[in-house]
């Protein structure tokens, strides 16, 4: 805020002395970002954003972090946004710079993460001629952005910046693209304050009243239910509605299962929490879904990894209710009987004024018995280091208070199972798209957004290699992320599915040629440690926690270890393979 106040003071002085000051589009862009309260932009320069980068010179109020790959930049912006609730910002040049952002844009779009993505483009005079490093990034990203702008008139830029942040950060949040041709970034314009946002056809749901009648109907249905259940998804976190959900559960006595992205949105320590649901969810959670007579989805989109085979999903549910900010999600995958469309925080705040306890004591006792009789289990070992033990140890030694980012694969599911999240925005992971390479750079963004918090990046040996070059960023800036590599020398989740579904016909999953991760970290100037048994694991992890700055810890684990429970695609939530707990 000090930087923003300094900037506003300078702007006020400027407006008094120079009513007709001329600035470039690049200068207007940086001023607009500062006016939106942007703390850091993650990016990578190139020819068609040179005017923008030139405007950063001598501008101490503007903070930019140079990553080592555009994908690292957008994942870092994503991690910043998820962990802070603010809009993340990244920048790249035209052509390959812009297309290197596509995976990150899709990752944010699938998980409703607010980003403003700024790309350069070739000058307007050569657009459409296949000029050097030209790519129609607006068309390329049309299906995976909430909105897009191609800036052809520099005078439109202040309005566009303000609109982009408004669109990205309201309603169902998502990425907004601003594509700026090189000549536009150097055009001159009068310095002026951007207008108030007024977008025809778009009004943030937070600013609109919602229909209370379906909420009244839901409360009535709860009173008639004997086996009610809440599925809490990532929408609870995005809406900052965790406290309202806790109050709702305490008033209604309804058990809660969470999706992967919903972890932390309802505290794992709460007695009414049953665990994660879906393909690798707990026995108690999946059985609760299958036996509930009233199912209430709050900010969950009934993803296929949660529902599994739709015609076998929640067969005993007499009514299904859905609370969501996006009306397009209502009834999209699962038939909805009670549709509550609106901002989740506002809907739950109203529901809490009329909520009453459900008659769920017997139902809750059954779920508690399932939790006790069918807990998460694994075959521990005194000679080998099991990955589940590593996650339990990390949780224990951090007391569940860290911000944890993950990559995608077995380690992601073990994190969801064995690290207990009690606060919202403390799990940062790619849910909908399942993007390998996301975990480590997203931790950099989360750490910059939360400098006083412990940030842990948990990765597999496959995903770690996809953005390992960002180790340089941690070393140069001493960003104190604690980097975990669960090394089983194999593409673990693919191997597991080939073993179980394809009769152990293993095809191209061997990662035995991976680098020595300790030496790789040291080559970048980051401290590296390794552990292959329990004693080494505890010593190494404690050393990592005690060391200022970034540390990479490689945990060597067996390649044959599987994630259980597991449900095979095409089967139902009743068809859990319990594995070691069978």
pLDDT-based confidence at residue 582 (cuts at 50, 70, 90): very low
Active-site residue, 393 included: no
C-alpha 8: how far from chain center: 32
Q: Residue 581's pLDDT band (boundaries 50, 70, 90)?
A: very low
* Strands of 125-194, DSSP E: 147-150, 175-181, 188-190
Nearest to 113 by CA among 576, 430, 423: 430
Are 206-373 and 387-563 in the same CATH fold? yes
Q: Kindly report which listed range (17-31, 475-489, 538-552) carries the lowest average pLDDT score.
A: 17-31
Question: Is 436 in the active site?
Answer: no
Q: Is the pLDDT of residue 172 over 50?
A: yes
Is the confidence at residue 176, as pLDDT, over 70? yes
Architecture of domain 206-373: 3-Layer(aba) Sandwich (3.40)
Q: What is the pLDDT of residue 19?
A: 52
Catalytic residue among 189, 276, 493, 566: 493
Mean pLDDT of 46-71: 96
Task: Pick the more confident residue, 6 or 472.
Answer: 472
Query: What Rg, from alpha-carbon coordinates, does the chain have?
Result: 25
- For 514, residues 6+ apart whose C-beta sits below 8 A from its C-beta are 461, 465, 487, 489
Quick check: 12 pLDDT over 80? no
pLDDT at position 579: 87
Q: What is the pLDDT of residue 11?
A: 52
Binning pLDDT at 50, 70 and 90, where does residue 5 land? low
DSSP secondary structure string for all residues of 346-379: HHHHHHHHH----S-HHHHHHHHHHHHHS-----
Backbone angles phi, psi at 277, to 5 degrees: -105, 165
Query: What integer is the mean pLDDT of 374-381?
Result: 95
**What is the percent of the chain where pLDDT is above 70?**
96
Q: Give me the mean pLDDT over the 538-545 stretch.
A: 98
Long-range contacts formed by 158-163: CB under 8 A, 24+ apart: 158/28, 158/32, 158/192, 158/193, 158/194, 158/195, 159/194, 159/195, 161/29, 161/32, 161/33, 161/35, 161/36, 161/116, 161/194, 162/32, 162/35, 162/36, 162/194, 162/195, 162/197, 163/197, 163/199
The catalytically annotated residue of 27, 70, 470, 561 is: 70
- Among 133, 290, 469, 497, the active-site one is 133
Q: Is 210 a catalytic residue?
A: no
- Active-site position among 14, 132, 208, 478: 132
Q: What is the pLDDT of residue 194?
A: 85
| Domain 387-563 grouped into CATH 3.40.50.970 | yes
Domain assignments of the chain as residue spans, ordered by start: 22-203, 206-373, 387-563
Domain 22-203 top-level CATH class: alpha beta
205 band by pLDDT with thresholds 50, 70 and 90? confident
Per residue in 554-566, pLDDT (tens digit) is 999 999 999 999 9
Lowest pLDDT segment from 10-19, 225-234, 296-305, 425-434: 10-19
Task: Judge whether residue 3 has pLDDT over 80.
Answer: no
Q: Is 396 a catalytic residue?
A: no
Q: Catalytic site residue 3?
A: no
Torsion angle, alpha carbons of 549, 555, 559, 563, to 10: -80
Residue with structure tokens 């030209």? Answer: 134
Question: Coil, strand or helix: which one is 22?
Answer: strand
Distance CA 163, CA 389 (A): 47
Q: How confident is the model at residue 203 (pLDDT cuts 50, 70, 90)?
A: confident
Q: 182, 287, 371, 482: which is the annotated catalytic residue? A: 182
| 95 SS3 class | coil
Mean pLDDT score across all residues of the chain: 95
């Amino acid at each position: 805020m000090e930087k923003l106040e300094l900037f506003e003071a300078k702007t006020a002085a400027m407006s008094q002395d120079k009513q007709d000051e001329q600035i470039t589009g690049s200068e207007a862009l940086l001023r607009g970002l500062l006016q939106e309260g942007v703390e850091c932009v993650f990016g990578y320069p190139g020819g068609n954003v040179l005017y923008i980068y030139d405007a950063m010179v001598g501008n101490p109020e503007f903070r930019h972090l140079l990553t080592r790959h555009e994908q690292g930049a957008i994942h870092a912006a994503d991690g910043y946004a998820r962990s802070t609730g603010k809009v993340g910002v990244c920048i790249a040049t035209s052509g390959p710079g812009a297309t290197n952002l596509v995976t990150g844009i899709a990752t944010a779009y699938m998980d409703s993460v607010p980003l403003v993505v700024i790309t350069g483009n070739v000058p307007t005079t050569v657009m459409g001629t296949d000029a050097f490093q030209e790519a129609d990034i607006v068309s390329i990203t049309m299906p995976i952005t909430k909105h897009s702008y191609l800036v052809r008139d520099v005078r439109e830029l202040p309005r566009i910046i303000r609109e982009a942040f408004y669109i990205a950060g309201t309603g169902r949040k998502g990425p907004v693209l601003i594509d700026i041709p090189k000549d536009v970034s150097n055009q001159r314009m009068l310095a002026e304050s951007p207008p108030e946002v007024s977008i025809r056809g778009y009004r943030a749901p937070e600013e609109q009243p919602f229909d209370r009648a379906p909420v009244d109907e839901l409360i009535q249905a709860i009173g008639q239910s004997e086996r009610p259940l809440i599925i809490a998804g990532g929408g609870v976190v995005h809406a900052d509605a965790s406290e309202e959900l806790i109050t709702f559960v305490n008033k209604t006595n309804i058990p809660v299962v969470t999706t992967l992205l919903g972890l932390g949105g309802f505290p794992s320590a709460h007695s009414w929490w049953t665990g994660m649901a879906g393909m690798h969810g707990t026995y108690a959670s999946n059985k609760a879904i299958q036996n509930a007579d009233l199912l209430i989805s709050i900010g969950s989109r009934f993803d296929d990894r949660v529902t599994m085979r739709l015609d076998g999903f929640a067969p005993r549910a007499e009514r299904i209710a859905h609370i969501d900010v996006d009306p397009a999600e209502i009834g999209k995958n699962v038939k909805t009987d009670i549709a509550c469309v609106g901002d989740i925080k506002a809907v739950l705040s109203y529901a809490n004024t009329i909520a009453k306890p459900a008659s769920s004591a017997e139902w809750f006792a059954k779920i508690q018995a399932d939790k006790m009789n069918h807990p998460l289990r694994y075959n521990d070992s005194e000679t080998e280091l099991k990955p589940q033990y590593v996650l339990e140890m990390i949780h224990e030694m951090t007391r569940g208070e860290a911000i944890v980012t993950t990559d995608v694969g077995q380690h992601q599911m073990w994190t969801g199972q064995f690290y207990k999240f009690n606060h919202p925005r403390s799990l940062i992971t790619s849910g909908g798209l399942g993007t390998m390479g996301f975990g480590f750079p997203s931790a950099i963004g989360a750490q910059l957004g939360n400098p006083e918090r412990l940030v842990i990046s948990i990765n597999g040996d496959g995903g770690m290699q996809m953005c390992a070059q960002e180790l340089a960023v941690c070393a140069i800036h001493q960003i104190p992320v604690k980097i975990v590599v669960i090394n089983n020398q194999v593409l673990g989740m693919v191997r597991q599915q080939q073993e179980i579904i394809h009769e152990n016909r293993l095809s191209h999953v061997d990662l035995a040629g991976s680098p020595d991760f300790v030496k790789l970290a040291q080559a970048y100037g980051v401290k590296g440690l390794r552990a292959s048994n329990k004693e080494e694991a505890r010593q190494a992890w404690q050393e990592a926690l005690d060391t200022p700055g970034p540390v990479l810890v490689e945990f060597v684990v067996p390649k044959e270890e599987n994630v259980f429970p597991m449900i095979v695609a095409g089967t139902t939530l009743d068809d859990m393979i319990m594995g070691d707990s069978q």
